[in-house]
């Protein structure tokens, strides 16, 4: 009994299959197998979102405190800028009064240390008089009284909204991982590498946009909205909790998505739709488009907030132009080396 030696044609076939599997990412599957993989991918993505929503439900108190922080910071800046203190009656906050207007009629020992004035009822015969007592109590400790639900169902809607958006943000890495498990086997090695780089770069920019909005723009936007309401003759002492939470969440998401500009532009450069010359020539038009988009996206519409939002987007555009220029130079050097 003789053993047949492998033929050269068989070795070529094996090498071709190995190369295709290594470059394409895996063996070829049937249509039904792809449907089964898609079904399990959707199940895992939905499960990750639901579990993340349950986690957010257990942390609702902490999430609400985090989202209320910009409102508190805006109140601190507004009161200190106008030299105002809170007017309290018991544990209820009635509003704000200017300490400068009171110092002309009342003498305070240390007016800079006064943060609030308390109305205290005093019995005087058959009359009840209200006396003002200076206090160092911070009136912003009663900030939760300013966020109110005006409908019975608003509390449930606010909780569901926070759970949904928080669950999507927490589950985003897992969803991207599960989708990648389904898509990556169909991509080549260089396409996988570009996808990894794009995903990491985009996630970092998204987080940077959210942090920039939360720590810088949110406080300025709230102060501008309150001052504009006061200029129109309307008071802004009470806030609808549902509207406020919606405003904060959508503003941060819009800022995070707008920071994806370099990802979109560089992807179009990579596929050959744009290049360095086109981006460089399009700069004057982008300035106009950037200002127009920011005018619609900013909730206040004032020039300062618009400029504050348009400036980082313009810097991101310049970063995209710079990276595309580096890519074009490397491509030219590669072609010269091959020639």
Residue 267 to residues 58, 280, 300, Cα–Cα distance (Å): 39, 16, 32
> Is residue 149 a contact partner of residue 50, using CB atoms and an 8 Å limit?
no
Is the whole-model pTM more than 0.85?
no
Residue 330 to residues 52, 287, 335, 338, Cα–Cα distance (Å): 43, 28, 9, 12
The residue among 107, 153, 154 whose CA lies nearest residue 134 is 107
Sign of CA dihedral 18, 22, 26, 28: negative
Task: State the virtual CA torsion across 250, 252, 255, 257 in degrees, nearest 10.
Answer: -70
Per residue of the chain (339 residues), what is the pLDDT tens digit?
Answer: 445 555 544 444 444 443 444 445 556 777 788 788 889 999 999 999 999 999 999 999 899 989 988 888 777 776 665 566 667 776 666 666 666 666 556 666 655 556 677 777 877 777 887 777 776 666 555 554 578 888 889 889 999 999 999 999 888 888 888 888 788 777 778 777 877 888 888 888 999 999 999 998 888 888 888 877 777 877 776 788 888 898 899 888 888 888 989 998 988 888 888 888 889 899 999 999 988 888 887 766 667 778 888 899 999 999 999 999 998 898 888 888 887
Q: For 141-187, how does the pLDDT look when each residue is reduced to its tens digit (9 = 90+)?
A: 555 457 888 888 988 999 999 999 999 988 888 888 888 878 877 77
Tokens representing 138 are 């911070």
Q: Rounded to whole angstroms, how far apart are CA atoms 227 and 234?
A: 10
Q: For 5-22, how does the pLDDT look when each residue is reduced to its tens digit (9 = 90+)?
A: 555 444 444 444 434 444
């Amino acid at each position: 009994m003789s053993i047949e030696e492998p033929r050269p044609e068989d070795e070529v076939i094996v090498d071709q299959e190995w190369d295709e599997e290594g470059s394409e990412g895996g063996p070829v599957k049937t249509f039904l197998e792809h449907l089964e993989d898609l079904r399990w991918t959707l199940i895992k993505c939905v499960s990750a979102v639901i579990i993340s929503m349950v986690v957010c439900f257990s942390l609702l108190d902490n999430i609400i405190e985090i989202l209320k922080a910009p409102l508190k910071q805006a109140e601190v800046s507004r009161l200190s800028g106008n030299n105002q203190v809170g007017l309290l009656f018991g544990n209820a906050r009635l509003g704000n009064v200017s300490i400068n207007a009171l110092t002309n009629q009342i003498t305070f020992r240390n007016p800079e240390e006064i943060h609030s004035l308390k109305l205290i009822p005093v019995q005087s015969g058959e009359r009840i008089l209200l006396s003002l007592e200076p206090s160092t109590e911070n009136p912003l400790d009663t900030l939760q009284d300013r966020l109110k639900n005006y409908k019975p169902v608003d509390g449930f809607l606010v909780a569901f909204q926070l759970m949904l958006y928080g669950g999507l943000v927490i589950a985003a890495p897992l969803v991207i991982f599960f989708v990648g498990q389904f898509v990556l086997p169909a991509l080549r090695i260089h396409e996988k590498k570009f996808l990894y780089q794009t995903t990491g770069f985009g996630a970092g920019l998204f987080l940077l946009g959210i942090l920039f909005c939360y720590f810088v723009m949110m406080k300025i936007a709230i102060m501008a909205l309150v001052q504009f309401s006061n200029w129109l003759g309307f008071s802004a002492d009470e806030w609808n909790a549902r509207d406020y939470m919606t405003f904060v969440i959508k503003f941060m998401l819009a800022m995070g998505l707008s920071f994806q500009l370099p990802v979109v532009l560089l992807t179009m450069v990579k596929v050959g739709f744009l290049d360095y010359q086109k981006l460089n020539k399009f700069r004057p038009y982008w300035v106009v488009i950037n200002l127009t988009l920011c005018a619609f996206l900013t909730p206040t519409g004032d020039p300062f907030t618009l400029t504050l939002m348009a400036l980082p987007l313009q810097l991101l555009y310049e970063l995209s132009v710079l990276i595309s220029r580096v890519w074009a130079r490397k491509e030219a050097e590669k072609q010269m080396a091959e020639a």
